[in-house]
Structure 1
Amino acid sequence: MHPISRRNLLLGAAGAGASSLLGAGPAASASAGTVPPARWIGSGGFTPVYDPSTPAGPRYLNDHTLIKARNRWHLFSIVGNSAPRGESPDSGAETAFAHASAPTPHGPWTPHADALTVDPAYHGEEHLWAPHVVEADGRFWMFYAAGGQNGAAINLATSTDLFAWTREPSGPLFRGLVARDPMVLRVGGEWAMYYTELSRPGGHHIVACRRSADLLHWGEPDTVFTDASTDATVSVTESPYVVERDGWYYLFIGPRGGYEGTDVLASRDPYGFDPAGYAGHVPGHAVEAVADGDAWYVTAAGWFRQGLYLAPLEWRETPPPRQSPDNPVAGLDVAGRLTVFALDAADHSILRRVQLDPAADVWSGWERFGGPAGAVPTLGRNANGRLEVFSLAPGGANLHHRVQRPDGGWHDWEEFGGPAGAAPAVARDASGRLEVFALAPAGASFARRRQRSPGSLAWDPWEPAFGSAAGAPPVVAANADGRLEVFALGPGGSGIGHRWQEAPGGAWTPAWQPFGGPAGAAPRAARDGSGRLTVAAIGPSGVGTFTRRQTVPSGGWDAWLPLFGWSAGAPALAVNADGRLEAFSLTPGGARLDHRWQLAPGGAWDPGREFGEPGLLLAATPTAAIDATGRIHVFSVTTEGGIRTRVQARPSGEWQPWRAFGDRLIAPVVPGASTP
């Protein structure tokens, strides 16, 4: 049997199709009819607390574990040398477990000698992955994944002091198809080991569980979670971590929503989890939850970060609203001036800047725009050119909107009603009426609302069941013939579905149809100068970006094709003045921004080049918008909250250097994080 590599699993076939339909909805929950005391989980922002780098170069941590013993916290983790910016390292070279300790999870962390290094003489070990440590019977027990010519194995080492470790003389505890990422929890009078596996050769990714009375002898596996969205070609179910709180069990499972994303599922049954128990999202990789006294934290690490990150864990009564992938947002106003909206870093109020002179690219200062601000707003442009801003109230209380007047001023903010799980998606149909698509809290469904006439201040009632459960806010685009088409990610990345108008401005297809392809996060869509729509989406884990283009304007679809490598989310798309699409993709961790463009409208793509600023970390995929002169502007937010912008020197041409976009700090919102 060939040695198992995490890298091979991830890169196997990122374009594998998903089979489920958006309209199918999740399966019945194992805990249906009951509600946990803290039903929803979110997190604050992650901050770095430990960097394992050495004078020889930068290093990363990946799957890890924290344990508190003798009034000190200990960290054990996969460790490796960082790859060039935006590239993944070779997981086969992960052959040691780093060890560090600290008085609190915040640090300061003191590095120690590696806890364990690979030993090929020990039953053919070739790598060391995913340590997990528990204390029992006067010893510390480290469970970890190892593999080699004999296949995947879960191994054990023990210690009395957390520094000197001895492997179990009898060899691996058990072997599996791709058994890895073990996590051990005391459940009642027994121990439960959760780990990732395949249901069968070529089958689904699952979380398996074995039980033990003594931590040494383990029973046969049960399946406690099945990822029904994919087959074995892509590794998308990793790093399971289970927490018990008030009689409820919470499974943290990733990657979801990209490489740096983890979903949480709740259940009364520690041996049964399913998507219907969705309880929240944490924007980190290999997430683990720890309690320090009354305070709860989540830790994260991964290939594209240097070291360990920490964030407060939020136990919530209400679902945390989702953040828009666009930050800031930009569009042309009634006077044809490019206008940018963002959230203030200090109080998360809405700020606005206006391009006063498009030819000279002169801008106003930042000014307050008022209104509720629970997330970055979204924009619609009426048939008469007036902008309309849609905002989510803090905590996801409700939606509001504000409409521009013909003279360039603004009407007052008004409540807009409808579901408030995220800021809505907006588009203009063939008749000139705006249509809005809004996600319900926790992604339970999404609704649709339409203007009564083009540019009207009046709206038709909400259509509450336009779409069922979704894993992200929907995306909407207009076909060349004016028919709107909506794309939505299924729960847990179970696939992309789409639904479209059967005639311009008319009725919609009665059922959602599968769109196939990668489903790692919400897609994006744009129409190029040939009149054809292009949809871009990332594969599970963010392993790559792929595009699917219409065969003819308003018609069928070509096959999925690769566009970028590792991606934090679907790329920003913008249409040049000459009709060629441009795409901007950020790698996980925000260290590299790449750029590709069509050589002709609707044609092949240039190989592309790096577009960002080396050494500058970005918080999210940038925003791209075109001004009245036909030049594209790209706006990027750094992790510190500064906005950087880069503008074409001429329409459809080359690019000027990056520069600061005002001196105001804005909130560096991370998609998937809890809203302020």
Structure 2
Amino acid sequence: MSPVSRRGLLRAAGAGALVLPLAGRTATASPATTAGAATPHLWVGAGPFGQVHDPSTTRRRYLNDHTLIQAGGRWHLFSIVGNSAPPGQAPDSSAEVSLAHASAPDPSGPWTGHPDALTVDTSYFGEEHLWAPHVIESGGVHWMFYAAGGRAGAAINAATSTDLSTWTRLPSGPLFRGNAARDPMVLRIGVEWVMYYTELSAVDGRHQVCYRRSTDLLTWGAPGAAFTDSATSADGVSVTESPFVVARDGWYYLFIGPRNGYEGTDVLASQDPFHFTLDGYAGHVPGHAVEVVTDGQQWWASAAGWFRHGLYLAPLSWQSAPPPWQSPDNPVASLDVQGRLNVFALDAADRSMLRRVQLDPDADSWSDWEAFGGPAGAVPALGRNTDGRLEVFSLAPGGAYLHHRVQRTDGTWSDWEVFGGPAGAAPAVARDADGRLEVFALGPGGALIARRRQWSPGSLTWDAWDAGFGGPVGAPPGVAANADGRLEVFVLAPGGTALLHRWQTSPGGGWSAWERFGTPAGAAPRVARDGTGRLNVTAIAPSGTAAFQRRQSVPSGGWDDWHPLLGWSTASPLPIPGADGRLEALTLAPGGDRLAHRWQSAPAGAWAPDGVLGEDFGEPGLVLAAPPSAAADPTGRLHVFAVAEDGRLRTRVQDRPGGGWRPWAAFGDRPVAPLRSGAPML
């Protein structure tokens, strides 16, 4: 939880190649497929998070790493607590010097605040901060394990209580010290207690989830490594924080983060509680510092963090199939065969697909929302044929299959047809040098990337799927066409260990091997072509602390180094090519209350304004639920669309092509699904 653990840079990759296997893992490839395994592991997902407790009084406050425990018919919350920083900025974690306490009859509340459980005691063995409490009960005594320390070094401390109100530190001092030991979590396994905590390897500086064993909660054995990530202290970020382990049906599920941005937690499954790997990937929960609780019937995921205000709760699901991933684009928009801008979104109530059409660009008048199909498992993807006809590619609920619908030359639409499946997300779509649409689809659980293309430009007939295009990967792919027409695909490696790319070696021709494109990253990269014909790729650091941009040195050529672009980001920034060839970049900060904006002063030129904070492009007082999307209308003006937390769409439009921006305005009164990038839709 230290400031150092939250900062980092995405550094330029070397020239070495990292080749993905032609045959990706299957949807259930994990330790469950080993000999002797009775059943495969379950997949984990979470529904939407809702706020259930806000500690703010006269000032905005946040909760961070926390713990929930049921005792005496009530639920008790203990948590880091601090004063919120300005929108888009992180507070100073060294100022976290108390642990908040609240209780409720149910995890969903109502929560009643109590005096802080602990405040920092500088006379207690060098204690300078209080982080990440975890509370258990043993023999009628409650034990609170927490991270403390400072100049004396990282330490795991403990305090005990019989009433959950008055806590007494152990007179013997810290249980143990480590290199960066923090975020303890204790689980009973057999006859032992096992403590999991985040740490840095003393050998190579890699981020780890370590463990120690005890029979009395006082004396803890030598450390072991339950999980080791590829990220190191040199990367300046931590992606093994807030470890939480759940035992279920012979499997152990490790929840760790921040992954896929600050507000993201990955789940790894293993039948060995002391050994987890990325091969055991079992799902993603879109929350920070996630804890898992159950009352024996319902499961919940709780979350908190610097950029939220209080405690958030979501239903947690255990299922036999992996939940689908959501694209960062919500809604999606494109011109159709009649040159009209079409916008597609999902209805908040039943996840049916909705469409609006721009009727008059000059008056900026739009049709009402109309039903277009569904329900769907994710916001759809769009492709545009050389004659202007749109094709809509949608994911069925639960990722059962992909289907698509094709626009006719008179503007009407064909019926829906099954296009392939099962799949893990809506596909990425691009047009190749021959004018044929090519589709790149993620397999369930990120097992593989499959590729399919039209027989000829605009054809209703498609080649068979090539299921060996790539994989496994950690998020849906991105694709764009080079200036010479060659397609290039960009992906996030499993666990965010690297960015990778692959490209056509000639227009419409074969493909290169996969090569490393960047060091560890926190989300799927995004790509756009500027007015000079050069591709530009955006990405974020592993925990979302900053966003970066990399562009081609020449059109269709090599690549410059990575450069800082924007600050804290929930997803890779949206790069938008304008009518004059300049790119504009938008990124949403964690918490959703700051939308940062920068733009090129000329095509492929310097970025303005100076500094990675950019200008605040958002609407005052409005919190967004997901990153924005954008498209150009027939006049060349850009339209930005964003979903507010209440599901209402807002839009902001340029006053002229390449010009300034009008104020934000409502875009229809029908709530749409406010899906977070990477989040499964249950």
Q: Considering the TM-score relative to the shorter chain, is it more than 0.5?
A: yes
Task: Find the counterpart in structure 1 of residue 314 from structure 2.
Answer: 311
How far is 1:14 from its partner?
4.5
Identity rate, percent: 69
Q: Report the secondary structure of 2:20's partner residue.
A: helix
| C-alpha separation in 1, matches of 2:357 and 2:654 | 18
Instruction: Tell me which of 669, 675, 682 is aligned to 1:669.
Output: 675
**Do structure 1's residue 70 and structure 2's residue 35 form an aligned pair?**
no
1:236 pairs with one of 235, 239, 255: 239
| 2:547 match | 545
CA RMSD of aligned residues (A): 1.6
In the alignment, the residues of structure 1 paired with residue 134 and residue 19 of structure 2 have an alpha-carbon distance, to the nearest angstrom, of 36
- Cα distance in 1, alignment partners of residues 292 and 88 from structure 2: 27
1:261 to 256, 260, 264: 264
Map 1:347-496 → 2, pairs under 5 A: 347-496=350-499
Aligned to 1:220: 222
TM-score, length-normalised on structure 2? Answer: 0.96
> Is 1:582 the counterpart of 2:584 in the alignment?
yes
Q: Which residue of 1 aligns with 2:172?
A: 170
Q: Deviations over 1:551-577 (max 9, x none)?
A: 111111111101111001011121110
How big is each residue's C-alpha offset from its partner over 1:528-554, in whole Å with a ceiling of 9 and x where there is no partner? Answer: 001111000010110010001111111
Map Cα deviations across residues 594-616 of structure 1 (whole Å, 9 max, x no partner): 11100000111002411001211
- 1:17–1:518: 8 Å Cα contact kept in structure 2? no
Alpha-carbon distance in 2 for matches of 1:202, 1:247: 32
Q: What is the alpha-carbon distance in structure 2 between the residues aligned to residue 37 and residue 298 of structure 1?
A: 22
Deviations 1:346-403 (A, max 9, x none): 2111100001111221111111112451110000000111100000001111000001
CA contact (8 A) 2:440 2:451 kept: yes
Query: C-alpha separation between the residues in 1 aligned to 2:18 and 2:246?
Result: 31
Counterpart amino acid of 1:180? R
Whether 2:281 is the aligned partner of 1:275: answer no
Q: Give the AA of the match of 2:178.
A: G
Q: 1:107-256 to 2 correspondence within 5 Å? A: 107-200=109-202, 202-232=204-234, 233-256=236-259
Measure the CA separation in 2 of the matches of 1:35 and 1:544: 43
Cα distance in 2, alignment partners of residues 605 and 13 from structure 1 = 18
How far apart are 1:229 and its partner, in Å?
4.2
The whole-number CA distance in structure 1 between the counterparts of 2:247 and 2:636 is 56
In the alignment, the residues of structure 2 paired with residue 539 and residue 294 of structure 1 have an alpha-carbon distance, to the nearest angstrom, of: 38
Structure 1 residue 15 displacement after superposition: 3.5
Equivalent residue letter for 1:9: S
Match of 2:557 among 551, 555, 558: 555
1:324-339 to structure 2, matched below 5 A, reads: 324-339=327-342
**Amino acid aligned to 2:174:** P
Q: What CA distance in whole angstroms lies between the structure 2 residues aligned with 1:252 and 1:627?
A: 43
Using the TM superposition, give the Cα deviation of residue 36 of structure 1 relative to its aligned residue in structure 2, in angstroms: 4.5
Identify which of 289, 293, 297 aligns with 1:290. Answer: 293
Q: Distance in 2 between matches of 1:514 and 1:101?
A: 49
- Residues 158 and 16 of structure 1: CA distance in aligned 2, closer, same or farther (over 3 Å): farther
Q: In structure 2, what is the equivalent of residue 641 of structure 1?
A: 647
In structure 2, C-alpha distance between the alignment counterparts of 1:326 and 1:596, rounded to whole Å: 19
Q: Give the counterpart letter for 1:45 in structure 2.
A: P
Q: Deviations over 1:162-219 (max 9, x none)?
A: 1111111111111111111000000000000000111226521010000000000000
Contact 2:627–2:677 at 8 Å: present in 1 too?
A: no
Q: What do residues 472-498 of structure 1 show as CA deviations (whole Å, max 9, x unaligned)?
A: 000001111110000000111111100
Change (3 A) 1:308 1:245: same
Query: 1:23 — aligned with what?
Result: 20
Matched residue, 1:9: 5
- The CA deviation at 1:160 is 1.2
1:627 pairs with one of 630, 633, 649: 633
Q: Which amino acid is the alignment partner of residue 330 of structure 2?
A: N
Asked if structure 2 preserves the Cα contact closer than 8 Å seen for 1:101 and 1:111, the reply is: yes
Per the TM alignment, residue 274 of structure 1 is displaced from its structure 2 partner at its CA by 0.7
Q: Which residue of 1 aligns with 2:615?
A: 609
> Could you tell me how far apart the structure 2 residues matched to 1:38 and 1:274 are?
14
Taking a change above 3 Å as real, the CA distance of residues 652 and 106 of structure 1, as seen in their structure-2 partners, is same
Contact in 1 for aligned 2:130/2:148 (Cα 8 Å): yes
Paired with 2:310 and 2:11, the residues of 1 have a C-alpha distance of 30
* In 1, Cα distance between equivalents of 2:350 and 2:508: 40
Number of corresponding residues: 670
Alignment of 1:50 with 2:50, yes or no, is: no
| Mapped pair 1:88 → 2:90 | yes
Query: 1:523 corresponds to which residue?
Result: 525
User: Conserved in 2, the CA contact under 8 Å of 1:15 and 1:546?
Assistant: no
Residue 566 of structure 1 corresponds to: 568
Contact 1:286 1:301 in 2 (8 A): yes
Deviations 1:312-355 (CA, angstroms, capped at 9, x unpaired): 11010111111111110000101111100000112111100001
User: Which amino acid is the alignment partner of residue 572 of structure 1?
Assistant: L
1:35–1:536 Cα change, 3 Å? farther
Q: CA deviation at 1:76?
A: 0.3
CA contact (8 A) 1:22 1:469 kept: no
1-side partners of 2:371 and 2:504: how far apart? 38
Contact 2:10/2:518 (8 A) holds in 1: no
| Cα displacement (A) at 1:268 | 1.0
Shift of 1:39: 1.3
After superposition, the Cα gap between the structure-2 partners of 1:527 and 1:77, relative to the gap in structure 1 and judged at 3 Å, is: same
